[in-house]
Amino acid sequence: MPIARTLALVRPLLLAAALLAAGAARAHAVTVSPTAVFIDARSPTATLTLYNNGTTPEEVEISFGFGYPSSNDQGVLQVQIADTAAAGEPSIAAYLRAFPRRLQLQPGQRQTLRVLVQAPAGLGNGEYWGRVLVRSRGGQPPIESTQGQVHVALNVETVVATAVLYRKGPVTTGAAVRAASATFVGDSVRFTVDLDRQGNAVYLGRVQARVKDAGGRVVAQAEDALALYRSLRRRFVIAVPAGGARTGWTVEYTVDTERPDLPPEGPLKTAPVTGSVAVR
C-alpha cells in the first residue's frame, strides 16, 4: 500500500456483476495528494489537494478514522480503518479537523483542503496516527440496468484514506529484521522478511531484494514501499531465469528510509538495514 500506500474502497449500494465495469470507470474520479501528511505540534496544520479528473461533478465529504497496515501469514497487506481506535493506540483521529468538510468538485477542478490537529494540552510526546477519509459520490444519477425481470441500480462511492502523522517532542524510529527466508518455487524465488519497528514513530521506507547466483551475479530483483507501524511480514515472489544450476544462490536485502513519493520532511532518516539469506 505504496502507502504507506493510499487505501481506496468502492462501496456500491446495490452491486451486480453486469455493472462492475461501469462502476469502475469512475471509481477514482477524485484524487488526493500527497498520500500522507506530517504535522508537527509547533505548526499543527497541513494541506491536501483534491482533484476531479472525471467528467462529472463530484460531491465530496471529509471524515476521519484510525488504521494502519498489517499483514497475514502470507505477507498480504491490509488496512482496516475504524471510526475509533482501541484503547492504548496512539490515535489522533478524535482531534482532526478539516476545512472545508463538504464541497462539490467540478470536472477538472482542484481544491485545497486544510487539515488541523487540535490536540489537548496534556498530550504526551510521541507520534500519533490518523486517517483523513475523502468520500466522493458522482453527480450523475445511479447506473441502472434491467436483465429479464431483475432491475439493478448502482450508486458508487469511493473513499480515499490519507495517512496523517502528528509528532510532538522527540521521535525516533528504526527497523529490525526478526527473520528472513528464501525458497525456490518453480521459476521464481519466494523471499519473506519479518520486520519489527523500533522507536516511537512509524518507519517509512522501502524493501529491496536482489537474487544472486553462485557467482555473485544479480539475476533478478524486486522493490516495494514500506510503512512499518508495528510488525509486518513482507513477501516477494521474484521471477528468475529458467534452467541452469541453482546451488549457492542468495537473496541480499536492504531496508532503508528512501521514499521519493513522500514529502521530504516526512520519513525519519535512519541507517539502512542489510542482510543476506541462502535460497533453499
| Helix (H/G/I), strand (E/B), else coil: 213 | coil
Answer yes or no: is 157 within a domain.
yes
Domain that holds residue 100: 7-168
Domain count of the chain?
2
* One domain, residues 188 and 223: yes
Q: DSSP string of 51-92?
A: EE-SSS-EEEEEEEEB--EEE-TT--EEE--BSSPPTT--B-
d(CA 269, CA 49): 26
Residue 153: Cβ within 10 Å count:
14
Core vs surface per residue 70-94: b (16+ CB within 10 A) or e: ebeeebebebebeeebeeeebbbbe
Evaluate if residue 142 carries a pLDDT over 70.
no
CB 58 within 8 A of CB 87: no
Q: Which three cell numbers stand for residue 145?
A: 440496468
Q: Which three cell numbers stand for residue 271?
A: 541507517
Residue 100: asked if its preceding bond is cis (omega within 30°), the reply is: yes
* One domain, residues 161 and 88: yes
Residue 110: alpha-carbon gap to chain centroid: 23
* One domain, residues 159 and 203: no
Answer yes or no: is 20 within a domain.
yes
Q: What is the mean pLDDT of the chain?
A: 87
Answer yes or no: is 46 within a domain.
yes
142 CB burial (10 A radius; 0-12, 13-18, 19+): middle
Per-residue pLDDT, 149:
74
Residue 26: Cβ within 10 Å count:
20
162 — phi, psi (to 5°)? Answer: -100, 130
Per-residue pLDDT, 143:
63
46 CB burial (10 A radius; 0-12, 13-18, 19+): buried
- Does 234 or 156 have the greater pLDDT score? 234
Per-residue pLDDT, 246:
87
Answer yes or no: is 163 within a domain.
yes
Share of the chain above pLDDT 70, in %: 86
Answer yes or no: is 153 within a domain.
yes
Per-residue pLDDT, 6:
33
Per-residue pLDDT, 18:
29
Torsion sign over Cα 230, 88, 32, 158: positive
Per-residue pLDDT, 138:
78
* One domain, residues 62 and 181: no
Evaluate if residue 111 carries a pLDDT over 50.
yes
Place of cell 544472486: 212
Evaluate if residue 275 carries a pLDDT over 90.
yes
Dump pLDDT digits (tens) for 146-197: 777 777 766 678 999 999 999 999 999 999 999 999 999 999 999 999 999 9
Share of the chain above pLDDT 90, in %: 77
CB 220 within 8 A of CB 202: no
What is the CATH number for 24?
2.60.40.10
Place of cell 483534491: 50
179 — phi, psi (to 5°)? Answer: -160, 150
Per-residue pLDDT, 244:
77
d(CA 249, CA 182): 10
Answer yes or no: is 233 within a domain.
yes
118 — phi, psi (to 5°)? Answer: -105, 75
Dump pLDDT digits (tens) for 3-28: 333 333 333 322 322 233 333 344 45
Q: Lowest-pLDDT range, 16-30, 148-162, 241-255, 257-271?
A: 16-30
Per-residue pLDDT, 170:
95
Torsion sign over Cα 93, 99, 101, 103: negative
What is the CATH number for 185?
2.60.40.2360
Answer yes or no: is 130 within a domain.
yes
Q: Which three cell numbers stand for residue 95?
A: 482531534
